[in-house]
A and B are shown apart, each in its own frame.
Chain A
């Protein structure tokens, strides 16, 4: 009798160990292996290969390829383009998200579609659009050339193409967030006497800062890495209009593998820095982050 009772109890205990939502161990193991394998083969392996190839002949050829004047020029150009495009898209993105999330107006859906356009259009096509507008055979090209203004095959064209391609990142990140937050806090601020600008600075901005930061980081990563659109408008002038991704291609096509992978490694490291920065901020402000998600 007592043995039976004991058996019954231990059986019960075994069952209560498993939560109702928990899956059997073999399924967990299978899914886990699949996921890790996927990440390893598709993400980690290529990244490791980039560094392996870059360092294939040791550190000094790698370093020489990095500080080669054309490479440095490409780094400088990429950083300049990002430094102009990212702040502008941050402002555009906040303005677009603010108007879409906090106001009702005719044509709102159309505006959202427009914002998504750069995601759905191939970057090469968006580069070509600028060629059609600003090129010598284009609408504005001849008159701009008369006034000695160069857009294509120069920094302005590269910046324009980068802005176009990276436009949705900040806005896309913010629209659902701001829609979800609603207008309550802004309305409360207005009844308490705050001006529109005070409301934005003291209420809206603090509420969206994490989403904004994330959007800006994504936007920055893409701005540095953009290839297609920039490739069309840049003209590939070595040391002048070659951005980092274009320079990687150029070196690779010239069979300079160490050079190509060295610049690629640098590009990858910039992306990693972005990621580390994001993780650090999330870790540092974890409490505040959690507090703003609850409520």
Chain B
């Protein structure tokens, strides 16, 4: 059940956002896509989530031809930088959304949904906040709810797009540790986009350093730090 990304390319008009990006993430791995803005990391993540469509290349996940599937059937939990919570729903309804929109024969019972929401709120350490609205939460709390919502659908893959980008340093560190703990607990393959190398190295098993729509170097944090393969990587890491 590994994820194989093979020479994925994407153009926005005439601007090439992705130029043949390839990497393999092992089942249950935690991969960080690291790079400056405009390096194509978010585009690659959105292609994996089905929110953007690749012009070329292929992605296989287990035995699935991933790019031929619509976002809705990929069952990949996505966490956005700006939370993208449903403003008009309570925290509980936000988390339950993915379960409630399932076709009737796959939908859990009301009681099961309630229990699941409660478990997830405990997991992201927000017990008792189920009746609040997103506007009544802090940024860090909102992102925790977004994470719980993405986990509620028992995702095959967890995709996070600069999830802590809008938060202050202290909250970032807390959430980062919690994310790692939740990942280890759920064992779900996780792809994490960030431009902060310290964050990438602290949280991920594997780091893909991106530049101009390509992956410059891919390896464990220790490898990448010890042997930067190109001048760009060593420069980016020392910055």
Contacts and interface: CB of A to CB of B under 8 A. Distances in A.
Do chains A and B stick together as partners?
Answer: yes
Interface of A: 184-185, 187-195, 198, 202-203, 206-207, 288, 291-292, 294-295
Contact of A193 (B51, B82, B98, B135): B98
7 contacts: A185-B84, A187-B78, A187-B84, A188-B146, A190-B70, A191-B74, A292-B88
A255 B149 CA distance: 69
Contacts of B78: 187-188, 191
A283 to B, nearest CB: 19
Contacts of B135: 291, 294-295
Contact of B50 (A184, A190, A194): A190
A121 B76 CA distance: 49
A192 B149 contact: yes
A184 B101 contact: no
A207 B97 contact: no
Given A190-B72, A195-B72, A198-B101, A185 B86 contact: yes
Interface in B68-113: 70-78, 80, 82, 84-88, 97-98, 101-102
A203 B87 CA distance: 9
A165 to B, nearest CB: 32
A217 to B, nearest CB: 20
Looking at chain B, what size class is its interface with the partner chain?
20 to 34
B62 to A, nearest CB: 18
B49 interface: yes
A16 to B, nearest CB: 33
B88 A193 contact: no
Contacts of B29: none
Interface of B: 49-51, 70-78, 80, 82, 84-88, 97-98, 101-102, 133-136, 146, 149-150, 152-153, 159
Main secondary structure of the interface of A (DSSP, over half): helix
A97 B52 CA distance: 22
Given A192-B101, A194-B72, A291 B77 contact: no
B87 A292 contact: yes
A193 B84 contact: no
A187 B88 contact: no
A291 B72 contact: no
Contact of B51 (A187, A192, A198, A291): A187
Contacts of B146: 188
A191 B75 CA distance: 7
Nearest to B76: A191
Nearest to B88: A206
A295 B150 CA distance: 20
A46 to B, nearest CB: 40
B87 A193 contact: no
B101 A202 contact: yes
A204 to B, nearest CB: 10
Contacts of A207: 87-88
Nearest to B133: A291
A133 to B, nearest CB: 40
B98 A192 contact: yes
Contacts of A292: 87-88
Nearest to A199: B101
A70 to B, nearest CB: 47
Nearest to B102: A193
Nearest to B98: A192
Contact of B86 (A188, A190, A195, A294): A188
A206 B93 CA distance: 13
B86 A203 contact: yes
Residue of B87, B102, B134, B153 most packed against chain A (CB within 10 A): B87
A195 B84 CA distance: 17
Nearest to B83: A184
A111 B45 CA distance: 32
Contacts of B73: 193
**Residue among A190, A198, A206, A207 with most chain B CB within 10 A:** A190
Identify the 5 closest CB pairs spanning chains A and B, nearest first.
A192-B98, A184-B84, A191-B78, A194-B101, A188-B84
Contacts of B87: 185, 207, 291-292, 295
Contacts of B77: 191-192
A82 B82 CA distance: 41
B82 A184 contact: yes
A184 B87 CA distance: 11
A229 B153 CA distance: 54
Contact of A192 (B70, B88, B97, B133): B97
Contacts of B82: 184
Nearest to B77: A191
Contacts of B134: 295
Nearest to A290: B135
Given A190-B50, A191-B51, A295-B134, 17 more contacts: A184-B84, A185-B84, A187-B78, A188-B80, A188-B85, A188-B86, A189-B86, A189-B97, A189-B101, A191-B50, A191-B77, A192-B152, A193-B73, A194-B98, A195-B72, A198-B101, A295-B87
